[in-house]
Amino acid sequence: MKVLVATDGSKNSMRALKYAVALVSQLNSKTSSLTVISVHDDAGLRHAKAFVGKDAVADYLRELSDKELKPAVKFLKDSGIKHDMVIRTGHVAEEIVKEASGSKYDMIVLGSKGRTSLADLLVGSVAQRVLSTAKQPVLLVK
């Protein structure tokens, strides 16, 4: 089973990662793997690109992803689970779904931030968008 876990460095995404590792461990399959994806939306930085350059913005987002992935990398190394890391920029939900479809993952695991329904209606949520657009099963971990 191929599992894609989205992380943003939060406690909720770390809980999702721990759950996914436990799930993959229980499968006891040598072909099971886990991939952690970090996505940053660069839409707000488009104007900054004109002043500091596209490469500087890309480097900044890469450093941010590396920082957020650090606890996940440590946990995965300690767990002994076969894993990969993917870093993307763009619309977060779209990039998660593109990666899941393009690399043929069997499941997407996300941490839930636990906002109220009203807050999600007003500002939307990555989890909601992934749930509504992904073709794979999506597991939300609270």
pLDDT digits (tens, 9 = 90+) for 71-89: 999 999 998 888 999 999 9
- Which residues of the chain are modeled with pLDDT < 70? 47, 49-50, 114-124
β-pairing, 2-6 vs 33-40, is parallel
Number of structural domains in the chain: 1
Structural domain containing residue 136: 2-141
Structure tokens at 126: 């990555």
**Residue 42: closest CA among 100, 88, 110, 96:** 88
| Rounded-to-integer distance, Cα 49 and Cα 21, Å | 38
Calculated CA dihedral for residues 87, 92, 94, 100, nearest 10 degrees = 40
pLDDT of residue 48: 74
β-pairing, 107-111 vs 2-6, is parallel
Q: Are 60 and 48 in contact (CB under 8 A)?
A: no
What CATH number does residue 134 fall under? 3.40.50.620
pLDDT of residue 58: 82
Question: Please, what is the average pLDDT of the chain?
Answer: 86
